[in-house]
Structure 1
Amino acid sequence: MLSGTTINQLQVDRLRPQDLLPHRPPMLLIDQLVDYIPGESILAETFIKPDTMFFQGHFPGEPILPGVVLVEMMFQACGIFGRLEALNAVEVSDVSENYRPKSGRAIKIDKMTFNKPVLPNDTVRIQAVFEHKMLNFSVFKARVDIDGRGIAAKGIVTVLINS
């Protein structure tokens, strides 16, 4: 799985969100990893399919992706960051194909703002920038950008990441 003691961009390109998160469709909300800077940040991307279940009732005739889904995307990006950090912390000889860090969970949302609606056929990029850690709690500045239309949402999220 790993060829060195840290994960490089080539390895990130080969990892899929489902390799790093316990989520599965329809709750796996991230399609691919775009970039990972160890100890600093994660960038992920998702295409918003027109037939996604969230559009069925929010709102018929004028579908808008619910803000809570954008926040969940942020939490999932943070979870991926935490798992990549955990993989970077173990020795290569300790890593097997079945290695999985323990799960984490969402803890807190601060200063969240929703700037623009996310619509069917939008591509969004989810960025989480690591701010600090206290015990197993990690704080991130996170945002969701809509390709070509600006910021959809931004705020501060705290996650519990068990390594």
Structure 2
Amino acid sequence: MTDTVTVEGTEATGRTPVADIDVNRIMQMIPHRYPMLMIDRVIDILPDESCTGVKNVTINEPFFTGHFPSRPVMPGVLIVEAMAQTAAVLVVQTLGPDAEGKLVYFMSIDEARFRKPVTPGDQLHIHVKKVAQRKSVWKFSAEAKVNGVLCAEATYAAMILDEK
């Protein structure tokens, strides 16, 4: 007998959810490395649809030394980068091994809103949904939450390059 995982929407789409993806596998999938790797894990992946990235925010992050020494706050632009990296993992998981390690470039960032500061000790959950895809251009919407509270949101488009 095998265990089954039920994810909301699976019955309607027929897509099978993927198990958690750890940081070692993430580094095989996308080219980012410390200090620019902004996600530690990807969970709740539904290929070609959605996933959730997890960032464990620690005081050891290099940006906290200057942003801001008296009240450390994760820069909004890096939260958006975490959204993009989470989406890149979704793209690779959707396209398969041939997409691993390919570069993905932002094309647009729209409707970015920052609602609440993200600080050391927070665990950021980045919920990404695919909005559209046309050839190598993908569009996403994302929300970043800490303990279920919305901290940031954005829609953005990115292009995956054919060369590595």
**TM-score after normalising by structure 2:** 0.81
Find the aligned partners of 2:101 and 2:112 in 1 and give their Cα distance. 28
1:68 to 69, 77, 82: 77
Pairs within 5 Å for 1:7-22: 9-10=18-19, 12-13=20-21, 16-22=25-31
Structure having greater relative contact order (Cα 8 Å, sep ≥ 6): 1
In structure 2, distance between residues paired with 1:13 and 1:65: 23
| Alignment check: 8 A CA contact 1:78 1:159 kept | no
Residue matched to 1:44: 53
Paired letter, 1:157: Y
CA distance in 2, matches of 1:136, 1:9: 23
Distance 2:21 2:130 in 1: 20
- Structure 1 residues 70 and 16, CA gap change in structure 2 (3 angstroms): same
1:4-153 residue pairs with structure 2 within 5 A?
A: 9-10=18-19, 12-13=20-21, 16-87=25-96, 100=100, 102-148=102-148, 150-153=149-152
Structure 1 residues 90-133: Cα deviation after superposition (integer angstroms, max 9, x where no partner): xxxxx6xx983532111110000000000001000111100111
- Within 2, Cα distance between the matches of 1:117 and 1:30? 17
Q: Displacement, 1:9? A: 2.2
Contact 1:106 1:159 in 2 (8 A): yes
Aligned partners of 1:102, 1:7: CA distance in 2, in Å? 24
Unaligned 5+ segments in structure 2 are: 1-14
User: 1:46, 1:125 within 8 Å by CA — same for their partners in 2?
Assistant: yes
Supply the distance in 2 between the matched residues of 1:25 and 1:51 (Cα, whole angstroms): 12
Q: Residue 9 of structure 1: SS of its match in structure 2?
A: coil
Contact 1:32/1:44 (CA < 8 Å) preserved in 2? yes
8 Å CA contact 1:126–1:143 kept in 2: the answer is yes
CA RMSD of superposed structures (Å): 2.1
Aligned 8 A contact 2:16 2:46 in 1: no
Residue 160 of structure 1 corresponds to which residue in structure 2?
A: 159
User: How many equivalent residue pairs?
Assistant: 147
Distance in 1 between residues matched to 2:135 and 2:144, nearest whole Å: 27
| Residue in 2 that maps onto 1:92 | none
* Residues 99 and 82 of structure 1, relative CA distance in 2, 3 Å threshold: closer
